[in-house]
């Protein structure tokens, strides 16, 4: 597994001990979520849009309406993913912080068409809910025509992770300090009343099973 790029945009300048340089660290952040924030410049103004993503070894895939101004092409975008793992509650307010995992990806996106577009949509769907692509109806010609999907290269990326306790153990203010962890879990599926005749499929139930 190769190291992440160290360009002027992705080099770790502050809090270097929180930086990660191997690509597997990037994939760990990507695997842990399914919503990213796509940062673009539209008509000279910055715009940051939350959107669902998928990925493979080489690209991050994002999609939206063909009318969306955020799905620009030919110019560099910045995509971020952040997972909050806990609040770091220190002895001093100044030392308070957050335990987190984050990735920042720069690249010039490419618009996908044809078989590439279908494959990317499948990748995106399966990343969010494994098994759903073959279970649900797949997009028809009209829906495909109304959808833009971009491939952002994973060639230029930066990853940072903060974990552990507060860093002010030597502070003379003698009070409790520590970490307030934050976890996420899927809850029991809620069936659409119009689909009450159908049982919840196994691939959906599997998401709610503790591992």
> Dihedrals φ, ψ of 136, to 5°?
-85, 165
pLDDT value, residue 92: 94
Question: Of 80-84, 103-107, 184-188, 205-209, which gets the smallest average pLDDT?
Answer: 205-209
pLDDT at 155 over 70: yes
Contact 45, 185 (CB under 8 A): no
The predicted-structure confidence for 25-65, as pLDDT tens digits, reads as follows: 999 999 999 999 999 988 888 999 999 999 999 999 999 87
Where would I find the beta strands (DSSP E) of the chain? 19-20, 35-42, 45-55, 59-65, 77-89, 97-107, 110-111, 147-153, 156-162, 178-181
pLDDT at 142 over 80: yes
Q: pLDDT band at 188, cuts 50/70/90?
A: very high
Q: pLDDT band at 99, cuts 50/70/90?
A: very high
pLDDT at 66 over 90: no
C-alpha closest to that of 79 among 59, 98, 100, 97: 59
The half-sphere exposure of 81 on its side-chain side, counting CA atoms within 13 A, is 26
pLDDT at 17 over 70: no
pLDDT at 1 over 60: no
Query: What pTM was computed for the model?
Result: 0.88
pLDDT value, residue 14: 63
pLDDT at 7 over 80: no
Q: pLDDT band at 73, cuts 50/70/90?
A: low
Q: Which two tokens stand for residue 41?
A: 């410049």
pLDDT value, residue 180: 97
pLDDT at 165 over 90: yes
Q: pLDDT band at 21, cuts 50/70/90?
A: confident
16-168+177-184 domain in CATH 2.30.110.10? yes
pLDDT value, residue 187: 92
Contact 33, 50 (CB under 8 A): no
């Amino acid at each position: 597994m190769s190291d992440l790029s160290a360009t002027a945009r992705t080099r770790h300048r502050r809090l270097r001990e929180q930086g990660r340089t191997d690509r597997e660290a990037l994939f760990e952040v990507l695997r842990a979520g399914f919503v990213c924030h796509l940062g673009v410049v539209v008509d000279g103004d910055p715009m940051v849009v939350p959107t669902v993503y998928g990925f493979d070894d080489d690209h991050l895939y994002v999609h939206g309406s063909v009318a969306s101004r955020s799905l620009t092409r030919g110019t560099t975008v910045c995509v971020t993913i952040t997972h909050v793992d806990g609040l770091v509650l220190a002895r001093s307010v100044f030392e308070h912080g957050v335990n987190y995992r984050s990735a920042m990806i720069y690249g010039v996106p490419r618009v996908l068409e044809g078989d590439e577009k279908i494959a990317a949509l499948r990748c995106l769907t399966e990343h969010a809910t494994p098994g759903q692509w073959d279970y649900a109806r797949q997009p028809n010609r009209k829906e495909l025509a109304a959808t833009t999907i971009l491939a952002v290269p994973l060639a230029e990326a930066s990853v940072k992770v903060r974990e552990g306790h507060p860093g002010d153990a030597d502070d003379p203010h003698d009070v409790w300090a520590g970490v307030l962890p934050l976890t996420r879990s899927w809850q029991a599926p809620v069936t659409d009343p119009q689909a009450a005749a159908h049982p919840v499929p196994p691939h959906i139930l599997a998401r709610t099973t503790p591992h």
